[in-house]
Chains A and B, each alone.
Chain A
């Protein structure tokens, strides 16, 4: 009986731990002579190597990548940026994705989400090391283990993310309110990232996130009754990507006592209004009455 219970708990534990693991998708890349997963590109050797696109078949070493949940990764050519650029389709020198000297560039596109790759001396805070690279452009490549160059192309699953909050979703006419949130890159707080907060398309704050990836913007509500559309955009200048999120904040004007009773009767009617900035709108005039 006790053994049976133990087995059930063990199964539940395994199920749960498997479930939690599946929530955190990670990218794994390695250099091998054949790929069981996605063949990203090829290198002529494991050190001091030239490179070729995965459509070529001249080099013995393949750079292979997989996602921990088994999701498919497509390798696509693109006109600019990408994870890496090549001078030719084979026998090529390489450059980082943020350089723009080479014509042949590739990107890893998962079925959902994003993969980002950056140049770093350590891939400790990334999912994986793709390859090591001798320079930012006109470079040779090597794997990340045998005799790697100091510079590495480090990659992670998970793109940019930004959250947006307001200290109040309903703001009294003409008063201040605060917009704040956090930014993440590949699931990690994105420190010192440029963030622009806009109110109806007009920039209110242009700032950088703090060390925890947080931003904060104080806005004076415009002189109109409206549903303000506020957007926050974070920019990843290395990968030339951006992510925008938005929130609505209502502005209102009120007069009278605060409602402090439950037996309150309210009525409302649509009415025309001309805001102080001259705009014309239809608003609700709400009246609440109590003894």
Chain B
């Protein structure tokens, strides 16, 4: 081998080594990139799971604290409510659902977070009565809402997220609705937002036209204290009635204002609608009513035209100007408020409106069966809290980077697809 051969073979060898090095460097560099990508990809999944969780403490934003562990998640609860209105022919109706938001005072449910939606997630106006609190957070309440009976499923959402208070107004003409299905102590609850709850003395609840009814036995009375919503110059009283004994008795009366009673002798077996000051000759009188049978009674008056309906049909109309007195007085069922003229029979599904019901509305009320409300078990989910994201902006990002291991920079973005 001479020098020339040596040089050529040396160059070829060096070239070969260089090519091998380049290939292997590229290979290893790609491998390293791949490993890095896999590592960051795995980390991103871990970060994602971490950041969509609640954090520690889970309500760090509400307490205005720096979290020990960062998380933007928050518990949200929803209560499915099913309403069967198949045989309810009214244009709308009122629903009352008793809800335990936080029975053990652990969840810190914010009243502002409570929203009711129908199945298409359209917001439904509601109000709450009988509210009990755990400090500033809600414990339980009765949620009252109206709807046009086209929906059957509703969802009540609530969480500890502080939101903008919804300013709902319920503008309906139903002043009182007591179905007499449940008694709480001596109280029978009005299903409307007006809280015209009745206190029962010496009466009881027994099987009625629909579920239970109010049983009065000439010694009992239901008293509903003065409430402005019942002081109306226009009224409709709508209820089911079963008479056990004919007598000169009062069935429903708003003292000094309006009422319904049995006819005076010899017409004890008839129903009379009356307005205080309206001559007896102009008080609409029904045909005879059998004992121990359920009848649907509606009395409407605008102070000029007074109508009485029996089982969905108009049976008597009188016209006489006698404005309904607007007086501050209680409403009693089963006698007058002094417990005179006591009634022997049953009353069910009592509704009082501040409008005159149309003939069609009365007919529909007569053929309606009350809607059934079924409350399904509560469902818990995790949502992303806007409040936590907003509050995190007040804290130095390097702090969060540090508590997440100081390894990566990150950015979250929440948007709708």
Taking Cβ atoms with an 8 Å cutoff, the residues of A that contact B are: 170, 173, 223, 225-227, 250-259, 263, 265-267, 269-291
From B47, B166, B393, contact of A278 by CB (8 A): B166
List chain A residues, Cβ under 8 A from B43: 289
Taking Cβ atoms with an 8 Å cutoff, the residues of B that contact A are: 37, 40-41, 43-45, 47-48, 51-52, 72, 76, 113, 115, 117, 121, 123, 157, 159, 161, 163-164, 166, 381-384, 386-387, 389-390, 392-393, 397, 407-417
List chain A residues, Cβ under 8 A from B383: 271-274
Structural contact, A256 and B409, CB atoms closer than 8 A: yes
List chain B residues, Cβ under 8 A from A265: 37, 40-41, 44
Bound Cα distance from A272 to B384, whole angstroms: 6
Bound Cα distance from A284 to B48, whole angstroms: 12
Structural contact, B48 and A255, CB atoms closer than 8 A: no
From A173, A227, A259, A282, contact of B411 by CB (8 A): A259
Bound Cα distance from A253 to B34, whole angstroms: 32
Bound Cα distance from A152 to B409, whole angstroms: 70
List chain A residues, Cβ under 8 A from B121: 279-280
Structural contact, B48 and A273, CB atoms closer than 8 A: no
Structural contact, B384 and A271, CB atoms closer than 8 A: yes
Structural contact, B47 and A289, CB atoms closer than 8 A: yes
Nearest to B165 among chain A residues (CB) is: A278
List chain B residues, Cβ under 8 A from A173: 386
Bound Cα distance from A55 to B412, whole angstroms: 69
List chain B residues, Cβ under 8 A from A276: 163-164, 386-387
List chain B residues, Cβ under 8 A from A258: 411
Structural contact, A267 and B123, CB atoms closer than 8 A: no
Q: In whole Å, how far is A148's beta carbon from the nearest beta carbon of chain B?
A: 59
Q: Which of B45, B115, B415 has the most CB of A within 10 A?
A: B415
| Other A-B pairs, 15, CB within 8 Å; known A256-B397, A272-B382, A287-B47 | A227-B416, A256-B409, A265-B40, A265-B41, A269-B48, A272-B383, A279-B115, A280-B115, A280-B117, A281-B416, A286-B412, A288-B411, A289-B40, A289-B43, A290-B409
List chain B residues, Cβ under 8 A from A254: 389, 411-414
Q: Which of B164, B408, B412 has the most CB of A within 10 A?
A: B412
Nearest to B161 among chain A residues (CB) is: A274
Q: Which of B41, B412, B413 has the most CB of A within 10 A?
A: B413
Nearest to B115 among chain A residues (CB) is: A278
Bound Cα distance from A227 to B390, whole angstroms: 20
Structural contact, B413 and A226, CB atoms closer than 8 A: no
List chain A residues, Cβ under 8 A from B161: 274
Given contacts A253-B389, A257-B410, contact A277 B415 (CB under 8 A): no
Structural contact, A267 and B45, CB atoms closer than 8 A: yes
Q: Which of B384, B397, B411 has the most CB of A within 10 A?
A: B411
Given contacts A265-B37, A280-B157, contact A250 B409 (CB under 8 A): no
Structural contact, A272 and B381, CB atoms closer than 8 A: yes
Nearest to B166 among chain A residues (CB) is: A278
Structural contact, B415 and A225, CB atoms closer than 8 A: yes
Structural contact, B163 and A274, CB atoms closer than 8 A: yes
Given contacts A265-B37, A267-B45, contact A287 B412 (CB under 8 A): yes
Given contacts A255-B389, A266-B44, A272-B381, contact A278 B163 (CB under 8 A): yes
Structural contact, B40 and A255, CB atoms closer than 8 A: no
Structural contact, B45 and A253, CB atoms closer than 8 A: no
Bound Cα distance from A290 to B411, whole angstroms: 9
List chain B residues, Cβ under 8 A from A290: 40, 408-410
Q: In whole Å, how far is A173's beta carbon from the nearest beta carbon of chain B?
A: 7
List chain A residues, Cβ under 8 A from B51: 285, 287
Bound Cα distance from A280 to B164, whole angstroms: 13
List chain A residues, Cβ under 8 A from B157: 274, 280
From A225, A252, A257, A287, contact of B48 by CB (8 A): A287
Given contacts A274-B157, A280-B121, contact A289 B409 (CB under 8 A): yes
List 11 A-B pairs, Cβ < 8 Å. Answer: A250-B416, A254-B414, A256-B410, A272-B383, A273-B386, A274-B113, A276-B164, A283-B415, A285-B48, A285-B414, A287-B51
Which 4 residue pairs across A and B have the least CB separation, nearest first? A256-B411, A252-B415, A278-B115, A272-B383
List chain A residues, Cβ under 8 A from B411: 254-259, 287-288
Structural contact, B384 and A283, CB atoms closer than 8 A: yes
Structural contact, A277 and B164, CB atoms closer than 8 A: yes
Structural contact, B409 and A278, CB atoms closer than 8 A: no
Nearest to A250 among chain B residues (CB) is: B415
Structural contact, B384 and A273, CB atoms closer than 8 A: yes
Bound Cα distance from A283 to B393, whole angstroms: 20
List chain A residues, Cβ under 8 A from B417: 270, 283-284
Q: In whole Å, how far is A193's beta carbon from the nearest beta carbon of chain B?
A: 33
Bound Cα distance from A288 to B45, whole angstroms: 10
Structural contact, B52 and A284, CB atoms closer than 8 A: no
Bound Cα distance from A284 to B414, whole angstroms: 6
Structural contact, A286 and B386, CB atoms closer than 8 A: no
List chain B residues, Cβ under 8 A from A288: 44, 410-413
From B123, B164, B414, contact of A286 by CB (8 A): B414
Bound Cα distance from A258 to B157, whole angstroms: 34
List chain A residues, Cβ under 8 A from B397: 256-257
Bound Cα distance from A173 to B385, whole angstroms: 13
Q: In whole Å, how far is B73's beta carbon from the nearest beta carbon of chain A?
A: 8
Bound Cα distance from A255 to B335, whole angstroms: 67
List chain A residues, Cβ under 8 A from B123: 278-279
Q: In whole Å, how far is A114's beta carbon from the nearest beta carbon of chain B?
A: 36
From B45, B166, B408, contact of A291 by CB (8 A): B408
Bound Cα distance from A255 to B411, whole angstroms: 6
Bound Cα distance from A266 to B37, whole angstroms: 11
Bound Cα distance from A259 to B409, whole angstroms: 9
Q: In whole Å, how far is B389's beta carbon from the nearest beta carbon of chain A?
A: 5
List chain A residues, Cβ under 8 A from B48: 267, 269, 285, 287
Structural contact, B52 and A285, CB atoms closer than 8 A: yes
Bound Cα distance from A131 to B285, whole angstroms: 74
Bound Cα distance from A179 to B222, whole angstroms: 62
Structural contact, B382 and A291, CB atoms closer than 8 A: no
Structural contact, A225 and B416, CB atoms closer than 8 A: yes
Nearest to A272 among chain B residues (CB) is: B383
